[in-house]
């Protein structure tokens, strides 16, 4: 017994010592290459083609992949409700998205494709320079296996965390993030063909069992000649839109409520329904109750990524969606419970109109005039605006370059679906320690959206410059969350309707341009009412949602969840959000009388308004 205990002690000491030391990357990659079949077999590898079955939650489909050296690749996925292709050919990385639009891959999409190519082609082993892009993390357990853990980021690629089994020296799995959401991939069912081992099964986990994705290779072939035509970008499909009366443009009025654009649409001939116009939505979303009433059939689980993380909806097929005199035809949309927005929006929304409108058309939004004009880009009649910015389309979102505090450049999503002015992503905030540069902090506030609720610190940013326009003392959300789209590293922030309302602007996705004209110089309406109180609807009335520290509302003793009864003698029940905000706002020195209820008792306070954005002494 003593001898056994002594041997066990020695063994544990030896294992822990090995685990504490960083192994040589040359030695690890050499053993990994031997596990895959050896350098001789890998050096003869020139091409791969496979067919696979795909299961995304309850959504079934197929995938095909072709890869050939040097730098040719294509992935085609058919999920019945939609088809997506990505490819690399003659230096161009391209995508055919769910609308049939063919565009260049950009940002993190492009980086992730490059990294996947480097791994699939075994260039990470065969190119001796690639070892310089591995960084040791440590030894961790992954699916009950001890693994050497490295981060790997090839030139122009995205960073991936690799888990290498310490016993087999095969990949146990990988970890990455997509739009701020952790994605863990596990590899299994390794087989050998022409001397090279490869996994037949890949399982991707987004943290929700309803969205678990399994890719099962059914057949494959390596080292055969693949015609170049396979890798060439496809021709764009026939346009899936039409204008009434053979016109090439259509204008309509919209409702602007707390920086949100509401537009009337007809779905499959029914309506009108009030949809939020949202350039930050990667596809059109229909409120679940509306989808049910229209008899739209559930075609499978839909992963919906928002500020709070991942939510689960369903795919549906839409025959037609009409906005103004423009009709969008035959496309995949999502159905999702949007009831979370009822208490924070001016009025409920029945859907979200996003990428399906913007992808193929020019959408001009004149915020001060409350007019949207939609143009056929092929007609060449769009007049443009004063300033023109380059626009990237990344993950179906419009992205522009802008400058923080006159010196810090970043990439920002231009998001008409956000009521905020500017939200900065957590990695960007941390990288530049941006909270230390603010004029004044206003407190911590929740952000509601798809995936749930997250929190953001509101503060006054000294400046934000878009093109030729410099905006000073801008109320900005500084986000420090670990998940959701505002935790993503590939985008630095989100420009919302609070900024856009000062502009007329044109979104031209086909031409990859954003056109801007600043219409109003009045930027004093900063969206945080001068009483320092933010409200939300509850039942048939309104309650205090948040109180900003050091403001009239905070000093009066008002608290969160106090129910408003009247403002300046006018009962608030039945009022609109805009009416209440207007009554609670005003010039510095104005007095507003608020009557409210707490725990069954009524109270009344007088609030002397102030400019809450004024600088404080540092």
Please answer whether residues 420 and 498 qualify as being in contact, where contact means their C-beta atoms are separated by less than 8 angstroms: yes
* Strands 213-222 and 196-205, bridge-based pairing: antiparallel
Residue-wise pLDDT for 417-459, tens only, equals 988 899 999 999 999 999 999 988 887 776 655 555 667 888 9
Please answer whether residues 65 and 77 qualify as being in contact, where contact means their C-beta atoms are separated by less than 8 angstroms: no
Please name which of 537, 534, 347, 340 lies closest in space to residue 450, comparing C-alpha atoms: 340
**22-230 and 379-518 agree in CATH topology:** no
C-alpha 357, offset from chain centre = 18
pLDDT band for position 236 (cuts 50, 70, 90): confident
Please answer whether residues 459 and 513 qualify as being in contact, where contact means their C-beta atoms are separated by less than 8 angstroms: no
pLDDT band for position 285 (cuts 50, 70, 90): very high
Residue-wise pLDDT for 394-424, tens only, equals 989 999 999 999 999 999 999 999 888 999 9
* Strands 270-277 and 351-353, bridge-based pairing: parallel
* Strands 371-375 and 362-366, bridge-based pairing: antiparallel
Residue 401 parent element (H or E) = strand 397-404
Separation in Å, CA 194 to CA 43, 296, 338, 407: 12, 48, 52, 55
Distance CA 425, CA 489 (A): 7
Grouping H, G, I as helix, E, B as strand and the rest as coil, residue 440 is strand
CA dihedral 405, 407, 408, 413 (to 10 degrees): 70
Kindly give the residue spans of alpha helices, DSSP state H, lying in 121-270. 123-126
Distance CA 279, CA 110 (A): 21
Which tokens in the block code for residue 332?
A: 């995949």
Q: Is the pLDDT of residue 598 over 80?
A: yes
Separation in Å, CA 36 to CA 122, 125, 190, 199: 10, 11, 10, 10
Residue-wise pLDDT for 37-56, tens only, equals 999 999 999 999 999 999 98
pLDDT band for position 545 (cuts 50, 70, 90): confident
Question: Within 13 Å of residue 604, how many CA atoms lie on the same side as its CB?
Answer: 9
Which tokens in the block code for residue 11?
A: 């063994």
Please name which of 424, 396, 394 lies closest in space to residue 494, comparing C-alpha atoms: 424
Distance CA 411, CA 407 (A): 13
Ranges 146-160, 226-240, 532-546, most confident: 146-160
Q: Which CATH superfamily, name and number, covers 22-230? A: Lipoprotein localisation LolA/LolB/LppX (2.50.20.10)
Distance CA 110, CA 157 (A): 8
Per-residue pLDDT at 554 = 86
State the average pLDDT over residues 289-313.
79
DSSP sequence for 24-93: PHHHHHHHHHHHHT-HHHHHT--EEEEEEEEEETTEEEEEEEEEETTTEEEEEEE-SS-EEEEEEETTEE
Residue-wise pLDDT for 456-512, tens only, equals 888 999 999 999 999 998 989 998 877 666 777 889 999 999 899 999 999 999 999
| Residue-range domain boundaries for the chain | 22-230, 241-361, 379-518, 533-608
Q: Determine the CATH number of domain 533-608.
A: 2.30.42.10
Contacts of residue 177, defined as CB under 8 A and 6 or more positions apart, other chains included, come to 183, 487, 488, 489
Distance CA 213, CA 140 (A): 24
DSSP sequence for 529-578: -TT-EEEEEETTEEEEEEE-TTSHHHHHT--TTPEEEEETTEE-TT--HH
Reply yes or no on domain 379-518 having CATH 2.60.40.1120.
Answer: no
Largest CA distance in the chain: 94
Q: Which CATH superfamily, name and number, covers 241-361? A: Acid Proteases (2.40.70.10)
Residue in this structure with the two tokens 């906005």, named with its chain if needed = 323
The vertex-98 CA angle with 310 and 217, nearest 5°, equals 80
């Amino acid at each position: 017994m003593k001898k056994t205990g002594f041997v066990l002690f020695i063994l544990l000491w030896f294992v822990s010592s090995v685990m504490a030391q960083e192994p040589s990357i040359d030695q690890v990659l050499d053993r990994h290459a031997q596990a895959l079949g050896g350098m001789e077999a890998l050096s003869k590898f020139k091409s791969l083609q496979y067919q696979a079955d795909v299961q995304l939650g309850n959504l079934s489909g197929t995938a095909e992949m072709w890869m050939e050296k040097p730098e040719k690749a294509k992935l085609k996925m058919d999920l019945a409700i939609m088809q997506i292709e990505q490819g690399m050919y003659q230096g161009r990385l391209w995508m055919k998205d769910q609308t049939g639009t063919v565009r260049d891959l950009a940002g993190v999409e492009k980086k992730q494709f490059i990294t996947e190519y480097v791994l699939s082609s075994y260039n990470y082993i065969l190119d001796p320079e690639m070892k310089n892009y591995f960084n040791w993390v440590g030894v961790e357990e992954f699916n009950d296996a001890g693994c050497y853990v490295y981060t790997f980021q090839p030139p122009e690629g995205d960073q991936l965390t690799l888990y290498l089994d310490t016993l087999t020296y095969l990949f146990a799995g990988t970890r990455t993030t997509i739009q701020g959401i952790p994605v863990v991939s596990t590899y299994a069912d390794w087989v050998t063909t022409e001397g090279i081992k490869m996994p037949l099964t890949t399982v991707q986990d987004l943290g929700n069992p309803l969205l678990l994705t399994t890719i099962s290779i059914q057949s494959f072939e390596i080292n055969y000649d693949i015609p170049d035509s396979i890798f060439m970008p496809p021709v764009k499909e026939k346009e899936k839109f039409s204008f009434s009366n053979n016109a090439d443009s259509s204008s309509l009025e919209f409702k602007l409520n707390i920086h949100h654009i509401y537009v009337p649409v007809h779905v499959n001939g029914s309506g009108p329904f009030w949809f939020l116009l949202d350039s930050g939505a990667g596809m059109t979303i229909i409120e679940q109750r509306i989808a049910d009433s229209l008899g739209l059939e559930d075609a499978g689980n839909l992963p919906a990524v928002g500020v709070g993380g991942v939510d689960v909806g369903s795919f549906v097929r839409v025959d037609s969606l009409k906005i103004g005199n423009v009709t969008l035809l035959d496309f995949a949309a999502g159905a999702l419970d949007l009831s979370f927005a009822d208490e924070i929006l001016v009025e409920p929304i029945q859907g979200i109109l996003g990428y399906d409108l913007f992808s193929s058309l020019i959408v001009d939004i004149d915020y001060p005039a409350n007019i949207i004009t939609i143009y056929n880009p092929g007609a060449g009649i769009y007049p443009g605006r004063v300033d023109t910015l380059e626009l990237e389309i990344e993950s179906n979102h419009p992205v522009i370059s802008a400058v923080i505090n006159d010196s810090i450049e970043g990439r920002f999503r231009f998001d008409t679906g956000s009521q905020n002015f500017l939200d900065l992503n957590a990695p960007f905030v941390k990288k530049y320690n941006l909270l230390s540069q603010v004029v004044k902090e206003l407190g911590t506030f929740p952000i509601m959206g798809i995936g749930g609720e997250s929190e953001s610190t509101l503060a006054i940013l000294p400046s934000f410059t878009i093109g030729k326009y410099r905006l000073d003392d801008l109320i900005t959300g500084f986000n420090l969350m670990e998940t959701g789209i505002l935790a993503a590293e590939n985008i630095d922030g989100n420009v919302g309707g609070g900024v856009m309302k000062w502009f007329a602007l044109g979104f031209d996705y086909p031409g990859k341009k954003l056109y801007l004209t600043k219409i109003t110089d009045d930027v004093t309406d900063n969206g945080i009412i001068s009483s320092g109180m933010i409200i939300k609807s509850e039942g048939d009335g309104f309650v205090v949602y948040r109180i900003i520290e050091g403001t009239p509302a905070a000093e009066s003793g008002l608290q969160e969840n106090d129910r408003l009864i009247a403002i300046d003698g006018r009962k608030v029940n039945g009022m609109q959000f805009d009416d209440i905000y207007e009554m609670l706002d005003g010039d510095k020195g104005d007095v507003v009388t608020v009557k409210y209820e707490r725990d069954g008792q009524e109270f009344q306070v007088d609030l002397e308004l102030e400019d809450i954005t004024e600088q404080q002494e540092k």
